[in-house]
């Protein structure tokens, strides 16, 4: 009697391990994101250049940068929430530490969260209505001197809404 029970327990453990390892990799491959250039115009007069992936659908916004292991220093992701609203984010299943820029409908950065902790379920609040969130590698904000009041400019932030 112990043989079949042990067999099923081992099989269940192997299947669980497979799903823990394989599904995130499969999900990452299936989620596609368009890319665009993004500029950050600082109040100090600098123009910073990035290439960002665009998360504009509910599924893309929910998936974001989860499971990514590396990202170029000049890369990131822009989340377009269609209409200004208070936004909450978290880092569950996100391997990379991130800096988050919360911007209003003009692209003006209103709030910054630096060094968001990987895998954390802590809520990261925009603190005010925003239309965009830009995620960059942690440390970029401090390194480049990005501050609230600076402005993000991209095809996404300059498109006309209905």
Predicted model pTM: 0.81
Least confident of 2-11, 47-56, 120-129, 147-156: 2-11
* pLDDT tens-place string over residues 96-127: 999 999 999 999 999 999 999 999 999 999 99
Asked whether residue 150 carries a pLDDT value surpassing 80, the answer given is: yes
Within 8 A by CB and 6+ apart from 125, the residues are 86, 87, 88
Please say whether the beta carbons of 31 and 56 come within 8 A. Answer: no
Q: How far is CA 103 from the centre of its chain?
A: 14
**Side-chain-side CA neighbours of residue 147 (13 Å):** 7
């Amino acid at each position: 009697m112990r043989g079949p029970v042990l067999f099923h327990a081992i099989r269940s453990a192997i299947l669980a391990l497979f799903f823990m390892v394989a599904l995130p990799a499969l999900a990452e491959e299936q989620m596609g994101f368009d890319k665009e250039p993004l500029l950050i115009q600082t109040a100090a007069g600098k123009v910073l250049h990035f290439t960002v992936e665009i998360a504009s659908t509910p599924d893309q916004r929910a998936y974001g940068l989860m499971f990514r292991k590396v990202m170029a220093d000049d890369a990131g992701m822009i989340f377009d929430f269609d209409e200004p609203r208070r936004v909450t984010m978290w880092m569950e299943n996100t391997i990379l530490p991130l800096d988050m820029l919360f911007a209003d409908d003009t692209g003006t950065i209103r709030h910054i969260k630096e060094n968001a902790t990987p895998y954390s379920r802590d809520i990261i609040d925009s603190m005010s209505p925003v239309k965009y969130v830009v995620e960059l590698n942690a440390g970029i904000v401090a390194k480049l001197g990005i501050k609230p009041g600076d402005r993000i400019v991209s095809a996404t932030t300059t498109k006309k809404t209905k």
